[in-house]
Amino acid sequence: MANYFNTLPLRDQLHQLGQAEFMNNSEFADGVDALKGKKIVIVGCGAQGLNQGLNLRDSGLDVSYTLRKEAIEQKRDSWKNATDNNFTVGTYEELIPTADLVINLTPDKQHTAVINAVMPLMKEGATLSYSHGFNIVEEGMQIRKDITVIMVAPKCPGSEVRAEYVRGFGVPTLIAVHPENDPQGKGWAEAKAYCVGTGGHRAGVLKSSFVAEVKSDLMGEQTILCGLLQTGSILSFDKMVEQGIDAGYASKLVQYGVEVITEALKHGGVSGMMDRLSNPAKIKAFELSEELKDIMRPLFQKHQDDIISGEFSKTMMEDWANGDANLLKWRAETGETAFEKTPAGDVKIAEQEYFDNYTLMVAFIRAGVELAFETMVEAGIKPESAYYESLHETPLIANTIARKKLFEMNRVISDTAEYGCYLFDQACKPLLAEFMKTVQTDLVGKNYNAGKDGSVDNAQLVEINDILRNHEVEIVGRKLRQAMTAMKAIKTV
Amino acid sequence: MIEPVVHIANLTVQHQYHVVLQDLNWQIEPGQHWLIGGRSGTGKTTLAQAIAGHVPYSGILNVNFDNHSPLPAEVLYVSNWYQFTNLEGDKNFYYQQRYNKHQTNDTLTVQAEFLHFAKEKHLQFDDVKPYFETFGFENVHDTQLIELSSGEHKKLQLLKALWLKPQVLIIDQPYTGLDRQSRQELNQAFDDLAQAGVTLILISNDQTVPTCINHFAEIQEGQLFEVSSQAAFSREKERARKPLPHFLQKSPRITSQTMVKMSNVDVRYGEKEVLKKISWEVKAGEKWLLQGHNGSGKSTLLSLINGDHPQAYANDIVLFGKQRGSGESIWDIKAHLGIISPEMHWYFDQSAKVWQSVASGFFDSVGLFRNLSFENQQFLDQVLDFFDLKEDKNKLLNTLPLGKQRLALLARTVIKNPELLILDEPCQGLDYEQTQHFNAVVDELCTYGKTLIYVGHFETQLPSCLEKKIILDKGIVQSIEDILQYA
């Protein structure tokens, strides 16, 4: 199988990369009609599979699950998830031939095997849905020409997809139709109906393409979302311990700090996050993040280039073929870092203290979000897509770190994200070695405002606020956030 | 000289810009046990939280522990509101989650929770076991925290307090969600604690309190005043009777004469049967009382009616004339009914303003995500006025006293004038007078052709419109009968 994107002529590559349109509510007026009475069979019953299925059924659709024979015979968790919630469960042979819509919600790595098993059983003219385009775009999977291929990708973990639905809302969702597989022209209608069935239409839907989804998703997850949060967390912790800050305090500040800081990001974008700092700290964070952007820009660009060219997926798939040798090695190394091994101390840290004592992380996040966004947009990805794959997802990933540190983050995210995260982390740390030498505990571990009188230069502050608020990620973000103002605040601390 | 157990002088507590307690003085001597009562919203809970060290304050607040006592030198505060966390320390639950089955267990089992508490407080697990039967916790080892009903959660925290026997024990609304028998047993346990040397502070307006209580006080204008007995507590102002808004005087459109029809309904979690062979029919216009002990399956039964329970798809249930699982969405079902329950209140979006919470009832959503039409805006204003919530409409829901929060949620359930009202322990946590007030409103609402299912424990504290009764016991229908007349 050849990389699909690389088989396209340039004009087509640019066209597909540039797909992103924020959809108007009125486009969902038909509700779930396009799927009403149709037979929906979901392959896989993990977090996304189960929760999407519960939503679709509660929207009045006919949902059942198909699992591999072994999973059923051995009554694995996926089988129990489905049967305990009173869904019909059957083998591929039993259920796929009856399906009008087959939803593939298995892990990326299994896609080729799953599709090869499922496709011959699908009936003429049925629809196949993905929630991530890697298999189609990077692995170049060819789908039978009578089959319609769509994508519906909720931009949140499965548990959130369910929680937001039952409270009458939804999570932002990206939908797409594969241009090579829409023989009857029904792809968009079905993708929209599926999206309504999961509640996504209430929180903002982006009309995208398989190519745009894959190239932006990979970029976001390996740079700002996982890579930089990992690098920034480890460097911050090590710096504090080196400077004599209590290790338990340092561990807690780092573990929960990203979550508290990015909660402000979620509500008010980069400028909302920066506004949580005092004026002098904001100016300092601004200067630091400018410096960080200069240092890290070439690395962000290299990641984007390797993703666009297919170099990244090629290397990663070689590691898949090699029994995940590199992935497993790097995973083990992450488990051995001092941050990972130091439990959070039994100290109270007030919400504002996370900002005042962790100015460095605010700078990291501004630099990472803006760099990822800028690099994606330069590569031809639309600002709306770039926003979802950078700023929007950062608080969600930060939430996983707050739960159980980096190990948890890497467990929850996809294998693809995890692999890219380690690549970034390894390249980024040496790049920041000189910079970190200039960092003292006033930026990480202690209150930046201590001993300062709080005065700033008016003109400088106005200029900085202006730059922050008028960045393109802020302008597009304001529009998109309006559609999801109601998203529930994450409360863990 | 014997030191007072608690010495408070010039205590001031502010919530942001709002002064709750101002220059409050209070002295609790050894052997004293206090009941704090009076109107809601006066700062009773805030005072308790200050003593327990949960809120910042200014002034003097000393707790003098007895070094010779075998009891732990500790102030334990049991809050009215109970929030549990999952294994990952996350409080982000939604109330329907207890009905969905996930194989990965997200919360601790009740037993694990006890063991965790034992380890933290250096207690012996054997010491709590005698309480299990009294409080109905025999199946602790295989029950997940999230599976507990609201009444059981309250008992769980009371149990921990009885087990720990701290030198100072403060309990906010100890009787919330408890049935009559549990209340008596609890009062006996309180007396035993007092005997053992625990200083008790209870916050409640309930009539039946333990015999050990020997001092009474209430808070007015941020200061504490001792009163002679609970009969002397200030009462809530009598509610001015208002006419029901015109749109609520219209009978709702009835889609089917049979609202609910269940035949041989079973619900089980693994080996555990929660409901067994339930058959029940609710006809349009009927007013039902649903009763049963804590954990008897009442909330699960109701969750089948409002579309929240996934196992409804595997049972024979007809709702509003439509067979469940025949292509209807849960939003189609919810459009017919308004529901309030303690669980829903727990997990309600606490960051919503009062008017938003009420208006979300138009769309059956938890929180408001859409704009209101002109007509709906009119209805909202009328309902806010009727429930005396106008002044509070821009406040956050969770800043109101509990009684008002419940009224706001009741307003939410009726705002679309639904055919069926489901009120699951709507008065849990409310005191006698708040309950009377609440039920008077329910009676008024129900005069215009509404169908009602009401869950409540105390037969003296029910709306008078109820006419039929179904009693559940351990997941089985124990009886279905007519209610003739309650005094």
Indicate which CATH number applies to the domain containing A254: 1.10.1040.10
- In chain B, whose CA is at the least distance from the CA of A36? B327
Q: In Å, how far from its chain's centre is CA A449? A: 34
A47 and A156 belong to one structural domain: yes
How far does the CA of residue A62 sit from the closest CA of chain B (Å)? Answer: 7
SS3 B281: strand
Question: Which of the listed residues A185, A207, A229 is the one where a domain comes to its end?
Answer: A207
pLDDT at B441 (0 to 100): 85
pLDDT at A54 (0 to 100): 96
Chain B hits for A37, CB-CB cut-off 8 Å, are: 327
CATH number assigned to the domain comprising residue A171: 3.40.50.720
For residues B51 and B170, what is the distance between their CA atoms, to the nearest angstrom?
Answer: 9
A289 and A157 belong to one structural domain: no
B146 in contact with A, Cβ within 8 Å: no
Residue A8 lies in a domain: no
Half-sphere exposure of A270 (CA within 13 A, CB side): 30
Q: Domain residues of chain B, as ranges?
A: 6-107+161-232, 246-482
Q: What is the largest CA-CA distance in chain A?
A: 73
Number of H helices, E strands in chain A: 25, 9
What is the token pair recorded at B385? Answer: 């006025």
Sign of dihedral through CA atoms B220, B226, B227, B229?
A: positive
DSSP 8-state secondary structure symbol assigned to residue B244: P
How far does the CA of residue A290 sit from the closest CA of chain B (Å)? Answer: 35
- In this chain, the answer to whether the domains covering B6-107+161-232 and B246-482 adopt an identical fold is yes
For residues B120 and A398, what is the distance between their CA atoms, to the nearest angstrom?
Answer: 29
Per the CB < 8 A criterion, the answer to whether B310 and B98 are in contact is: no
In the structure, what pLDDT confidence band is assigned to residue B12 with cuts at 50, 70 and 90?
A: very high
- In chain A, whose CA is at the least distance from the CA of B268? A84
Task: Tally A–B CB contacts below 8 A.
Answer: 83
Q: Which of B97, B103, B104, B319 is the mutation pick for testing A, counting most A CBs within 10 A?
A: B103
Per the CB < 8 A criterion, the answer to whether B237 and B263 are in contact is: no
- Which residue in the block uniquely carries the two structure tokens 């909202």? B380
Chain A hits for B351, CB-CB cut-off 8 Å, are: 489
Sign of dihedral through CA atoms A86, A91, A94, A95?
A: positive
Question: Which of the listed residues A160, A187, A207 is the one where a domain comes to its end?
Answer: A207
User: What mean pLDDT is predicted for residues B332-350?
Assistant: 86
Residue A45 lies in a domain: yes
A435 and A357 belong to one structural domain: yes
pLDDT at B485 (0 to 100): 60
| B297-328 pLDDT tens trace | 898 999 999 999 999 999 999 999 999 999 99
pLDDT at B87 (0 to 100): 47
Q: Which domain holds residue A302?
A: 212-482
Q: For chain B, give the percent of residues with pLDDT over 90.
A: 47
A330 and A462 belong to one structural domain: yes
Chain A hits for B314, CB-CB cut-off 8 Å, are: 86
- Number of domains making up chain A: 2
Contact between A50 and B102 using a beta-carbon 8 Å cutoff = yes
In the structure, what pLDDT confidence band is assigned to residue B32 with cuts at 50, 70 and 90?
A: very high
| Average pLDDT for chain B | 86
Contact between A169 and B90 using a beta-carbon 8 Å cutoff = no
Residue B249 pLDDT > 60:
yes
- In chain A, whose CA is at the least distance from the CA of B94? A163
Neighbours of B82 (CB within 10 A): 16
Per the CB < 8 A criterion, the answer to whether B435 and B461 are in contact is: yes
Q: Are strands A101-104 and A39-43 parallel, antiparallel or unpaired?
A: parallel
Residue B466 pLDDT > 70:
yes
Q: Is A132 a catalytic residue?
A: yes
Question: Which of the listed residues A146, A172, A207 is the one where a domain comes to its end?
Answer: A207
Residue A7 lies in a domain: no
A→B interface, C-beta within 8 Å = 32, 36-37, 50, 54, 57-62, 77, 80-81, 84-86, 162-163, 166-169, 202, 403-404, 408, 485-486, 488-492
A164 and A246 belong to one structural domain: no
Name residues of chain A where pLDDT drops below 70: 484-493
Residue of A54, A163, A168 with shortest CB distance to B363: A168
pLDDT at A493 (0 to 100): 32
Contact between B92 and A81 using a beta-carbon 8 Å cutoff = no
A242 and A144 belong to one structural domain: no
A398 and A434 belong to one structural domain: yes
For residues A23 and B337, what is the distance between their CA atoms, to the nearest angstrom?
Answer: 32
Of A138-142, A214-218, B133-137, B216-220, which gets the smallest average pLDDT? Answer: B133-137
A219 and A203 belong to one structural domain: no
Residue A53 lies in a domain: yes
pLDDT at A66 (0 to 100): 97
Contact between B366 and A489 using a beta-carbon 8 Å cutoff = no
A199 and A230 belong to one structural domain: no
What is the token pair recorded at B13? Answer: 């507590």
Residue A41 lies in a domain: yes
- In chain A, whose CA is at the least distance from the CA of B366? A167
Per the CB < 8 A criterion, the answer to whether A121 and A93 are in contact is: yes
Of these residues, A111, A132, A303, A392, which one is catalytic?
A: A132
| A425-459 pLDDT tens trace | 999 999 999 999 999 999 999 999 999 999 999 99
pLDDT at A489 (0 to 100): 43
How far does the CA of residue B208 sit from the closest CA of chain A (Å)? Answer: 37
pLDDT at A1 (0 to 100): 75
The set of residues, in sequence order, having a beta carbon less than 8 Å from that of B300 and lying 6+ positions away, is: B99, B267, B274, B275, B309
A32 and A167 belong to one structural domain: yes
How far does the CA of residue A411 sit from the closest CA of chain B (Å)? Answer: 14
A167 and A236 belong to one structural domain: no
Number of residues that make up chain A: 493
Q: Which of A84, A409, A488 is the mutation pick for testing B, counting most B CBs within 10 A?
A: A84
**Interior CA angle at A152 toward B311 and B306, to 5°?**
25
pLDDT at A431 (0 to 100): 96
Quick one: A461 exposed, middle or buried, by C-beta within 10 A (0-12, 13-18, 19+)? middle
Contact between B92 and A163 using a beta-carbon 8 Å cutoff = yes
What is the token pair recorded at A469? Answer: 């608020």
Residue A430 lies in a domain: yes
pLDDT at A482 (0 to 100): 80
Name the more confident of B484 and B131.
B131
Residue of B269, B351, B369 with shortest CB distance to A202: B369
A248 and A377 belong to one structural domain: yes
SS3 B169: strand
Residue A14 lies in a domain: no
Beta partners for residue A271, in sequence order:
none
Per the CB < 8 A criterion, the answer to whether B242 and B40 are in contact is: no
Q: Over the Cα atoms of chain B, what is R_g? A: 23
Q: Which fold has domain B246-482?
A: Rossmann fold (3.40.50)
ipTM of the complex: 0.81
CATH placement of domain B6-107+161-232:
3.40.50.300
| B74-116 pLDDT tens trace | 999 988 766 555 544 444 555 566 666 655 556 677 888 888 8
